[in-house]
A and B are shown apart, each in its own frame.
Chain A
Amino acid sequence: MTPDARTAVAEAFTEEWGRVVATLIGRTGDWDLAEDCAQQAFAEAVRRWPRDGVPDRPGAWLTTVARNRATDRLRHEQMKTRKLREASDMAARHAPGDDDPAAEPDDSGIEDERLRLMFTCCHPALPLEGRVALTLRALAGLTTAEIAHAFFVSEPTMAKRLVRAKGKIIHAGIPYRVPPAHLLPERTSGVLAVLYLLFNEGYAASAGDHLIRIDLCGEAIRLARALTALMPDEPEATGLLALMLFQHSRRLARVDAAGDLVTLENQDRARWNRAECDEAEVLLQGALRRRQAGPYQLQAAIAACHAGAPTAEATDWAQIAGLYERLLEVMPQALVRLNHAVAIGMATSPEQGLALADELVAAGELADYHLLYATRADLLRRLGRDAEAHAAYRDALQRTTSAAERRFLNRRIQETDGRR
C-alpha cells in the first residue's frame, strides 16, 4: 500500500469508526453485525484505496460499504423474519444508485447517530466497567484484546464483559437514542464521567509498571473532542476536554527517565506541551463565558492556574484554593477536600493544610487512599516534623501498588529517615 493510502485508512479509522458503527446500529439494532460490517468496510478500504484512490468523503464511502455488507448479511439470514424486515426497510430507504459508495449523500443525521451510541454505551443501567469497555469498543474501535490489555484483564474476561453489556442493552430495552431534555443533564454527566474515568485510567495506571498509558488518554481526548463537536452548547463537555488537555500536556514532564513520578512542583515546565495548554485555555475561556461553571470547568480552571505559572513558586495558590472552595460547593467529595487541603497548605500555611487533611483522617475518609497519607507526609516534612512525616510516607507506601509511586515514596522515606 502507498504511504498515502495507508495514512488515509488509519485516519479514517480514528475519525470514522464510531460513526460507521453508530449508523449501522441505528439501522439494524444489531451491535455485533454493526461491528463486523464496519470491520469489513475498513478491510475493503485497505484493499481498494491504494488501487482506486482515496475517496473524497472516506466516511461516506465506509458507511455505504458497511451498510451494503449488512444488507447482504441480513438477506442471507432470511429465515430470521424480523431481521429480514429490517433489511428490506434498509434497502427501501436507499435508491438503486446507492451501490456506488461515492454517491452516498451526506446524511445530516449521521452525527446524531454517534451521539446516540455514546449515550447508549454510557447508560446508567449498565455496569460501569461495561460502559467503559463498550465505549472503547463501539465508539473508539479498540479491539477486545486491546481493551483487555489496557485494563489488565484477560481477553476472555473482557469479551464476556462486552457480550453482557450488549446483551443487556437488547434484553433490558435500553433505548438507542439521545435522551429527552428532562433526562439530558443527568445522562450527559454520566457520559462525561465515563470519558473522564477512561482518561484517568490512562493517566494514572492503577496497577503495573507504566505510570501513564498514553493510548487510553488519547482515546479519551478523541472521544471528548467528538462529544464537544456533537454538543457544542454543553460547557461541561468543553470543560472536560480542556481539563484532559491540560493534564495530558504534562505527560512528558510527569515521569523522569527512570519512569519515576515527578510532582508538579518539580516538573520541568519547558516539557509541558504548550500547544495543548493553549488549546485548553481557549476551550476553557469559551466554556466559562456561558456562566454555568460545573465540576469539569472548575477543575480545568485549576489546571489552567498551574499551566499559567512560569515556575512552581509563581503558582497562584490563593486563586487555586478559592477555586477548590467553589468546586466543593458542587462536588462535596473527600478527594476535593484533600486537594483543597493541599492548596491551603501552599496558599496559607502548612499547619492549616495539615489541619484540613487531619479532619479527613479523623472522619475516616479516604482511609485507603495513599495520597491522603502522602499529602500529610509532605505537609509534616515542610513543618520539619520529620519523624511524623516518615511514618506518614510509610502509611502511604502500604496503600499503593503502582511501581512508580512506590519508588517515589521510598525515596521520600529514605530522605526523611536521614533527618529523623
Chain B
Amino acid sequence: MVSYILRRILATVPVMAIVAFFVFSLLYIAPGDPAAVIAGDQASPADVERIRQSLGLDRPFLVQFGSWLWHILHGDLGTSIFTSLPVSSLIAQRIEPTLSLMAITLVLTIVVAVPLGVVAAWKAGSWVDRTIMTFAVFGFSLPVFVVGYLLAYVFALQFEWLPVQGYTPFAKGFWPWLQSLILPAIALGCVYIALIARITRASMLEVLQQDYIRTARAKGLGQRSILFVHALKNAAVPIVTVIGLGIALLIGGAVVTESVFAIPGLGRLTVDAILRRDYPVIQGIVLLFSFLYVLINLMVDVTYTLVDPRIRY
C-alpha cells in the first residue's frame, strides 16, 4: 500500500506541471498584449512598459515559464501589481475564512447528503424518495447566490437568528465562528448536497440488489445495520469519488458565497483582483486552489484502499 501511495503521489507531479503550464500560458492565450490588458485602458505607455518589465514579459516564453516555476517551487507566487505585496502573504492573510467555510460545508454535506441518499434508496419509488430527489433537482438548479440571499433574508433579516454578513475568526471563539458560517455553508452546500445525495442513492440502489443483502435480511439483521453497515460500506467508493470531484464546485462556489456574505476570504481577494486586473494574484489563487483540488483527490484515491480492501494496487 505504501508503494501505491507513493506511486499516486508521483503521478500527481505531471498533472500539477500541466496545471502550472496552463495557468502560466493563459496570459499568452488571451488576445492582445498581456501587459497592455493588465495595465487597463487608462495606462500610459510607460505604465505598460513598467508592467512588462516587472512581469518579465520581455523575455522568451520558456525562459519566463522556467523562472516562474522555479520561484513557485520556492514558495514565491510573485508580487501583486496593485499592492506590491507578495501574493503568498496576501493569500496567507485571507485563507482562514475560506478554508473554514469549505470545511464546514464539507462536513454539513456529508452529514446531510449521505443519509438522505441512503433513505431515498431504501424507500426507492416511494413519496420519500420522490421528495428527496425533487429537492436534489432544485438544489442543482438554484445558483449559490440565490440560495444565499434567500437564507440571509429569511434567517438573518426576518428572524434575526444569525448574523447577516461578515466573518468572526476562529480565535474569537468556536460558537461565534460557527454562527457566522452556518448560512454561507448551507448556501454553498446546496448543489453539493444534491450531487452527493444523488450519487449515494444510485450507488446504494445497486448494492441493495446484491445477494449478500438478501442474506443479511434472511438472517434477521435490522434494517439500520443492513443499510449503514453492510450496504453503505460497499457503496462507498463512488460516493467518496464524487465527494472528491465535487470539491471543484465548492471552490468555485466559495468565491461567490464570500461576496454575498461579505466574508474576507480568498473569494473576496479574487473579486478585488479581477476589478484591479491584478493578474499575479489571480494566477496565485487559481494555482493554489488547483493544487488543493489535486491534493484532495489524491487523498480520495488513498482512502479507496481503506474503505474497500479488495482494491489492491
Q: Indicate, yes or no, whether A interacts with B.
A: no
